[in-house]
Structures are given as structure tokens and as C-alpha cells.
Structure 1
Amino acid sequence: MSTEIELKLQLSPKAARQLAKHPLLANIPAQRQHLLNTYFDTPKLELHKRRVAVRFRKKGWQWLCTVKSAEPASGGLAMRSEWETQATPGTFDFSHVDNAEFRSFLEARIDQLEPVFTTDFKRQIWHVPFGESLIELAIDRGWIESRGKRLPLCEIELELISGKVDDIFWLTRQLQGDHHLLPAIASKAERGYNLFLDTPLHPFKAKPPAVHADQTPVEAFRCIALNCLEHFQRNEQGLLTSKDPEFVHQARVALRRLRSAIKLFAPVLPSEFVTIYGQTWQTLGSALGEARNWDVFLEETLPPIVTAFPNDKDIKRLRKSAQRKAQSARKAVIALLAVDEYPRLLLEFTAAVYTVGQTLPIPLADFARQQIARHARKARKLAIRHAELTPSERHNMRIAFKKLRYTLEFCFAKSLSKKQTHYFVTLTRLQDILGKINDYVTAEEILSITPGNNNHEVVTAWIRSRHSLAIAQLPEILKPWFKQHIH
């Protein structure tokens, strides 16, 4: 078995032609290959469910059988286990797979394997000595085909043959220049399965990061940051092409989790990393927040008011004005994703996360307990005074509870004890009610900047009444939290 470490980037056919003439590649002979690949699975797609790819590849006159794991990529970088051997097309032999349990899984399904999709592309390859490493750079151009449907394929793969992961990113920085190279989150196999299944574009929700107790805080942060980055990238296409407001919501949640993770782990991260990346995502995060605020106002706050006063012309005008504002806010997000700095940021941040060094040597569990205690103290100081808090103080209380919940979610996502689970549920209920309170505050702010705000008395009264009701629910939800202690 080998471990494949590769960075995958998308680009236009024009950029691919230009990149092939880059000075870094000028004195390196290029190899040219025509690669035809057929991917196989069972009728129930059992390999796909296990995130495994099995393919036959025709490479010149040679046939190869390849088995790959399919861990998700972040910032375009993927690390996969790979087994490859010469083979006769259509004859499956998994004896080269040195993982006994995995090999048994595959062998038990040999008779069920059938073709699912093909990839057909021409590849140019350069073996580039760079820094302390040897890196294979490949430009692939062709298509993915399944059930008579095709997707164009144009991408770069940089695979580490020997040396350090850092050098892949340094080489990419040199290649990027004026080219719009965008980290690719989906492998060829994933896109092939999506084509086979005719998978519609849908919002992607956060998955628990693969954090475990044996990791250091910095290793845990790396898992969490890359998890957040994948969460964001999986919603990127929806931000650009879909009107579904859930894409904005999920993208905003992804960046909010990412920025929270940087703040949470700041005590154990290098100060220069925190200085550079602590504020880097703020512009995009603020734009997503603005778009989300308008979506919430239109999708959640306004509908019950429209239902209660269906013939109110001022409310109808308000809705049309809010729709225009929401469209403008969405365009602002799209514009930020279109600037050249955005793909550079993805690459730079991914590189920084992969290469961030260890600082404070402390067990993850100890670090998590310290953070939980710190945020619990902040939340408690404000919660005790909940009845007299100003809107800004109540907002600070919401943030304190959010950080408390994120600490639990990040550090103990897959190993919450029964006591921690009850605590997490209580925090989630608190977040829900505090989120509603914040939405009503935001709704009033929206009204204040919306044309004709002097005619919105009915809407303002409705929002304020719901705001008061939500605040009145706080004591009952806070009561069980005051009794709970997990640190």
C-alpha cells in the first residue's frame, strides 16, 4: 500500500494551455498519456458508501487495477490510501490489498461488481524538483461519462513523490501567478458517482471532525479547521448558482465555526498564525452574515406577519424592498468569491493549517476542560444578570454560550459522555432561543434602514412582541444549565 498525497486544482482549458508553458516547466520534458478509466461498484453502490473507489485503467497498452480510499479533500489537498497492480481488464484480483479486512470486503463482492462510469482524458506530466521534494505535476483534460451524460474535465494534480507537503503549496504559489487556480474539493470518482446518480446540488451540513483523545490540541485544530473548510467548499457552488438560502446559511456556519476554532485554539497556536488568519475570513464572513440576515427576515420573520395582515400594502412594499436587499447581499458574496484573492486564500490557509507547528505541549482533554471552564465563567456572569442585560450584553452572552458549545462539539464530538450530552442539549436549546432573540434585534435594525420605515408600525410592534416573548422564555431554559457542571 502507498499513501497518495495530492493537491487538486480546477482551471479553464485556456489557463491549462498557458500553464503548460510556465518557466518552471520549460526545461523539464513532458510525458503525454491517454488514460481511460472505468470505475466499478455493486448494484447497491456498497463501495461508494464505504468511500472506496475500484477502477481499471488503460495506460497505453498496459492495464492496471487500482483501489483507493476516498477521504474528503480540504483546500484541494487529499491524502488517500492506494493499492495498484497490473491486471487483466474485467478480472478482479485484490491479493495486492494488504489490509486483510478490507481485502475480504472487496473479495466478497467480486461477482457483483459492474461498471458505473468512465473517465477519459489526456494527461501531460512533469516531474518537478522543487525545494526538498520531487513533485509530479499533471494536467488532465477530457471528460467524465455515465449513462450517456458527460461532464468536462480540466484540472491539475500535484502529487508528492518524495519530500515535504509544504513544497506542494510553495510550487502552487509559483504556478498560480495570473492564473485562476481554484482548489477542487471533489475527486473524479465523486463527480462520476454524482453523474451516475444524477445527484442534485444540495446544501452540505457540517460533519463531526475526526478528533480523538490521543491528539495534541494543534493536531485537533488541524482536523477541525480542515473540516470547516470542507464544509464551506461543499456549499460554494450553491452560493454561486442556487437561490436556496440554505447554501448561504451553511456557508456562514462553516466560516463561523472556522473563526471560532481559531479563537478557541489561539492559546496553543503560533501567534503569527493567529495574527494572520484570525481576521482573514472576516470580510467574507460579514458578507455572508448580511445575506443571511436578509434571508432570515424574508423567510422566517416576515411570513407570519404577511399571513396576519394579508392586505397591508406597506407590508407588501416592505417585502419587495427586502427582496431587493437580499439579492444585492447575495451578489456581494458572489463578487467576493470571484476575486483572485479568494482561491489564493484557500491555498494559503490550507498550507498554513497543514504546516502549523506544535507550541504548548498539553493533553487535548486538559486543554478542552480549561476552555470549557473559561467560557462557562463568562456565560455565567452574564446569565446571572439576564433580566437586566442590554441587547449588546445579551448578544455577548449568546456568543459565550456559542463558544462553550463549539468547544464541546470540536473536542468531544465523537465521545460525549452522558453528562456532556445532556449539557450539550441544554446549550443547543439556549442557542436556539438566544438566536431567535438576536434575529428579532436584527429585524428591527433592518426595518430602520429600509425605505418607508415610518410606515412599519405594525411590523415593528409584531417583532417587539415576539422579542419580549422570547426573552421571557430565557429563565426557564437557563434554569437547568445553572445546575449543570461538566468541568
Structure 2
Amino acid sequence: MATETEIKLSLSARAASQLPRHPLLADGKPHRQLLINTYYDTPDRQLRSQRIVVRYRQRGREWLFTVKTAALLSGGLAQRSEWEVLGQPGEFDFSHVDNLAIRTLLESLRHQLQPIFTTHFRRHAWLLEPRDGVRVELALDRGWIEAQGRRRTICEVELELLAGAVSELFVLAGELQATVALHPEARSKSDRAYRLLADAPDAAVKALPVPIEAGMPTIGAFRQVALSCLNHLQNNEEGVCDGDLPEFVHQARVAIRRLRSAIRLWEPLLPESFVAHFDPLWQELARKLGEARNWDVFMADTLPALSEAFPDSVAIERLSLHSERRRASSRKAARTAIKSAVYSRLLTEFTAAVLGLPEDDGKPLADFVPRCLDKRTRRVIERSPNALGADAAARHRLRVAFKQLRYALEFFTPILAEAPLNSYLHSATCLQELLGRLNDLAVATTMTAVALPGRQGIAVQGWLAVQTESLRPELATLLGAFQEQSVPWKPF
């Protein structure tokens, strides 16, 4: 078995034509190949569900038979197991797969395997040796994916580590990004092919559970969580840039909130320079997405309620036109941010920094979690009394505290007691949702004050205030119920 470690970077056709002139490549002669790949799966996509790839590659007169585990990409980085031998298409001999569980599964499915899609591309490959002991293959692939008569363009760079440390890949990626627009890819060729095969509209992607264990190093757990948040964010990039569904922006924003919460959770163990450099960058991106999300919520939830409360109102018509313009401009700003070279470099630099974090003192995650969750719970309890009043800012601070607690509980779910956790998490989630509704009303109050200044907005402001007051008794009830819950991390 070999372990394949590579960074995938997408680029435009124009950038692809510029790439060979980059100083890293200009003096080298690339090796050119035509690669035709056929991928196999069962009719019910069992390999896809197990994140396993089976492929035959035609390379000149040779046929290479490959089995891979399909790694999740974070910041473009993929690290996966790979088994490759010479073979003949249609023959499925899995004896070279030395992982017993994977080989047993493949052998049980052997007679169900059928070709499902192909990739066809020309590869220009350069062998780079930037330093002693470091060897990297840079491959520029241009061609297409074909699935049931449908095609999607391939235009990407792969940096595969042949010798040296993983950090060297990110050094090279950074040098390339300095002059060529390269974006860390969120999906492998096979992932994109399956999506093409489905021929269905893209759907927003929610966060996946993070596979952590009580005995793993604490910084190791942070790496898992942070890279999972990046994967969540990147899986919604395309929808933010190319679609109009509000859920893509929402999920991208949730991913950043989760990531920033993770940074805050682990902050005592992280280098000060790491937090000081990256947290403001993620905060600024969240702000740009947040404005788009606020207008989406206002248009979808608040404005229809206002229209019903004030039928045939000229003020509401004016508010609707103002809101539509602001939503369009905020969506454009969000797309611009996600498409920017600044964002592409942030993904690369942050992934490299996460992987390069110094190891902790060896204390297991189980020692860190109770202290971490105790601190988040105390913060919620301390902020609760002020939030019961009329102060919207106090409610917002409580909402932030509940988000951090909820995300921490979700991160640590695999190592917490299931039954107590479900009840506690449900209570925290209900409170966060109610605080979210109250925050939406507070944001709507600010928005309408700008759109309908002076006497124009008095009635609307009054209506929003009544809605806010009607929710305050429920907030008091839910806070009381939450504080009676038994925490699910004692005893651990």
C-alpha cells in the first residue's frame, strides 16, 4: 500500500496557459501524457457510500488498475491509501489490496461492478526538486469528465509529494499562488463525476460529524475539527458563487462560525500568533457573508410578516424595494469574497498552519473537554440574567455564548454520554434558535430604521418591538429549563 499525499488546485483556462511560464517551471520540460480513466461502482453506488474508488487508467499502451480511499479535501489537501498494479480492463483482482476490510468488501462486490463514468485529460507534469530531499510532481490536467453523455471541464493542478514533508507542498502552492490564480479544490475528479452523474441541482452541504476519540492528543483533535470545518465551507463555495439559494450562504457562514468557535475553544493551547493572525481574517469573511445572510432572512421571514401586518402600505413597498437592492449587492459582495485570491490564499495558508501546529504535551482530549465545557457553561449562566431584560446587545452576547457551547458539544459528541448529551444539546439548541429569532428581529429593526427613517418607520418599528416582547417570556422559561439540566461530561 502507498499513501498518496497531494494538493489539488483549480484554475481558469487563462491561468492554465500562464502556468508554464512560472519561474518554478519555465526552465523545465514537462512530460506529456494522455490519460483516459474508467471508474467502476455497483448500480446502487456502494463504493461511493464507502468512499472507495476503483479505476482503470489507460496510459499509453499500459493499463493501471487502481484502488483508492476517497479522502475528504480540506484546503485542497488529500491524503489517502492507494493500491496500484498493471492490469486489463474488466479484470478485478484485488489480491494486492493489503487492507483486509477493504479487500473483503471489494471481493464481495466484484460481480456487481460496472463502468459508471470516465475522465479524459492531457497531463503536463514537471518534476520539482526545490530543496535537498524534496521531490514534488506538479501535474497540469486539462480535459473533461463524461457521465451518461454529460460533460464537465477539468482544469486543475495537482502537487503530489514524492519525498519530503507535507509542508513543502504548501510552500510550493504559495509560491504558485503569488503569480497564478489557483484555488484549493474542494472535490476530487471522482466526486465531481458522481455529482455530474446524478444530474441534480446542487444542494447545500451541512457539517459532518468529526471523528475524534477521547485518547487522542488535544491538538490532534483541533486539527480534525478545523479541517472538517474547512471541508464544510468549501463544499458550499460553488453554491455561493454560482447559485441563488440562501442555504449555501447560510452553511458557508455556519462553517466559519464553527471554525472560529473551535479556535476560541482551543485558544489556550494554540500559539498566540496563530490566533492573532487567522481569527481576524475569518471574522472579516464571516462579516461579508453575514450581511448577505441577514438580507436573505429579512426577505424570507420578516418582510412577508410585515406585508401581512401592513397590507397596502406604501412604506412596506418602499422597504421591499430597498431590501431587494441591498440583498443583491450583499450577495455580489459575498461572491466576490469567495472568488478572491485573498480567500484562496487564506485556505492554503490556514491549512498549512493547522498541519504545522506544534504538538501539545501529550495530554489526551479527555482531560481537556470537561474544563472546556465547564468554561462555556459558566459563560452562558453569567450572561443569562442581563439577556432577560430589554437589552438586545445582551441577548446577542448570550446567543454567541450558546453557539460556542453548542458547537463544542457537537465537536465532542463522539466522547460524551449519549443520553444526557441528547437532552442537554436539545435544550441548548432550542435556546440558540429562540435567541436567533430575537437577533433577527433586532437586525430587522436596524435595517428598517435605515430604509424607513423618521416617521415613515414608526409603525414598523413598533410592530417589531411587540414581536420581540412576545418572545421574552419564552426565553425566561427555556433558560430556567436549561439550567436544571445535568451536564453530560461529569463523570467523564
Asked if TM exceeds 0.5, the reply is yes
Give the corresponding residue for 1:161: 162
Q: Deviations over 1:341-384 (max 9, x none)?
A: 22111111111111111245432122121111112112112224
Residue 104, structure 1, aligned to residue 104, structure 2: yes
Q: Deviations over 1:398-449 (max 9, x none)?
A: 1112211122111225644311221111100110111111111111111111
CA contact (8 A) 1:269 1:359 kept: no
Give the corresponding residue for 1:117: 117
Instruction: Report the 3-state secondary structure (helix = DSSP H, G, I; strand = E; otherwise coil) of the residue aligned with 1:334.
Output: helix
Residue 254, structure 1, aligned to residue 255, structure 2: yes
- CA distance in 1: counterparts of 2:18 and 2:244, whole angstroms: 34
Residue 183, structure 1, aligned to residue 202, structure 2: no
Which runs of structure 2 are paired with 1:46-195 in the superposition (5 Å)?
A: 46-131=46-131, 132-195=133-196
Distance 1:26 1:305, change over 3 A: closer
Instruction: Report the 3-state secondary structure (helix = DSSP H, G, I; strand = E; otherwise coil) of the residue aligned with 2:180.
Output: coil
- CA distance in 2: counterparts of 1:310 and 1:327, whole angstroms: 25
- CA distance in 2: counterparts of 1:85 and 1:15, whole angstroms: 34
Deviation of the 1:138 alpha carbon:
0.7
CA contact (8 A) 1:40 1:115 kept: yes
- CA distance in 1: counterparts of 2:314 and 2:124, whole angstroms: 63
Deviation of the 1:189 alpha carbon:
0.5
- CA distance in 2: counterparts of 1:283 and 1:386, whole angstroms: 26
Which runs of structure 2 are paired with 1:27-426 in the superposition (5 Å)?
A: 27-131=27-131, 132-388=133-389, 390-413=391-414, 415-426=416-427
- CA distance in 2: counterparts of 1:119 and 1:151, whole angstroms: 9
Distance 1:235 1:316, change over 3 A: same
Distance 1:305 1:257, change over 3 A: same
Give the corresponding residue for 2:4: 4
Instruction: Report the 3-state secondary structure (helix = DSSP H, G, I; strand = E; otherwise coil) of the residue aligned with 1:57.
Output: strand
Distance 1:42 1:387, change over 3 A: closer
Deviation of the 1:87 alpha carbon:
0.5
- CA distance in 2: counterparts of 1:239 and 1:184, whole angstroms: 15
- CA distance in 2: counterparts of 1:459 and 1:290, whole angstroms: 21
Structure 1: runs of 5+ lacking an equivalent? none
Instruction: Report the 3-state secondary structure (helix = DSSP H, G, I; strand = E; otherwise coil) of the residue aligned with 1:449.
Output: helix
Deviates more, 1:382-391 or 1:251-260: 382-391
Deviation of the 1:27 alpha carbon:
4.1
- CA distance in 1: counterparts of 2:305 and 2:126, whole angstroms: 61
Residue 460, structure 1, aligned to residue 445, structure 2: no
Q: What residue identity is the alignment partner of 2:328?
A: Q
Q: Deviations over 1:156-175 (max 9, x none)?
A: 00111121000000011122
Q: Deviations over 1:4-41 (max 9, x none)?
A: 11100011223223212322224444211111100011
- CA distance in 2: counterparts of 1:14 and 1:385, whole angstroms: 56
Q: What residue identity is the alignment partner of 1:102?
A: I
Instruction: Report the 3-state secondary structure (helix = DSSP H, G, I; strand = E; otherwise coil) of the residue aligned with 1:358.
Output: coil
Deviation of the 1:290 alpha carbon:
1.1
- CA distance in 1: counterparts of 2:114 and 2:288, whole angstroms: 46
- CA distance in 1: counterparts of 2:350 and 2:485, whole angstroms: 38
CA contact (8 A) 1:447 1:453 kept: no
Deviation of the 1:96 alpha carbon:
0.8
CA contact (8 A) 2:386 2:394 kept: no
Structure 2: runs of 5+ lacking an equivalent? none
- CA distance in 2: counterparts of 1:90 and 1:415, whole angstroms: 47
Instruction: Report the 3-state secondary structure (helix = DSSP H, G, I; strand = E; otherwise coil) of the residue aligned with 2:280.
Output: coil
Q: Deviations over 1:203-231 (max 9, x none)?
A: 11111122221222211111111111111
CA contact (8 A) 1:75 1:350 kept: yes
Deviation of the 1:74 alpha carbon:
0.5
Instruction: Report the 3-state secondary structure (helix = DSSP H, G, I; strand = E; otherwise coil) of the residue aligned with 1:121.
Output: strand
Q: Deviations over 1:229-269 (max 9, x none)?
A: 11111111111111111111111111111111111111111
Deviation of the 1:80 alpha carbon:
1.1
TM-score by length of 1: 0.96
- CA distance in 2: counterparts of 1:478 and 1:413, whole angstroms: 26
- CA distance in 2: counterparts of 1:313 and 1:75, whole angstroms: 49
Q: What residue identity is the alignment partner of 1:161?
A: L
- CA distance in 2: counterparts of 1:470 and 1:457, whole angstroms: 21
CA contact (8 A) 2:167 2:352 kept: yes
Q: What residue identity is the alignment partner of 2:475?
A: L
Q: What residue identity is the alignment partner of 1:134?
A: R
Runs of 4+ in 1 over 4 A off after TM superposition: 413-416
Instruction: Report the 3-state secondary structure (helix = DSSP H, G, I; strand = E; otherwise coil) of the residue aligned with 1:186.
Output: coil
**Aligned-pair identity (%):** 43
CA contact (8 A) 1:270 1:359 kept: no
- CA distance in 2: counterparts of 1:295 and 1:115, whole angstroms: 42
CA contact (8 A) 1:136 1:160 kept: yes
- CA distance in 1: counterparts of 2:385 and 2:145, whole angstroms: 59
Give the corresponding residue for 2:23: 23
Deviation of the 1:288 alpha carbon:
1.0
CA contact (8 A) 1:269 1:358 kept: no
Q: Deviations over 1:94-125 (max 9, x none)?
A: 11111122112111222211111110111111
Q: What residue identity is the alignment partner of 1:64?
A: L
- CA distance in 1: counterparts of 2:274 and 2:127, whole angstroms: 32
Distance 1:301 1:127, change over 3 A: same
Deviation of the 1:201 alpha carbon:
1.4
| Aligned CA-pair RMSD | 1.6
Residue 14, structure 1, aligned to residue 37, structure 2: no
Instruction: Report the 3-state secondary structure (helix = DSSP H, G, I; strand = E; otherwise coil) of the residue aligned with 1:215.
Output: coil
TM-score by length of 2: 0.95
Aligned length: 487
CA contact (8 A) 1:144 1:153 kept: yes
Q: What residue identity is the alignment partner of 2:331?
A: R
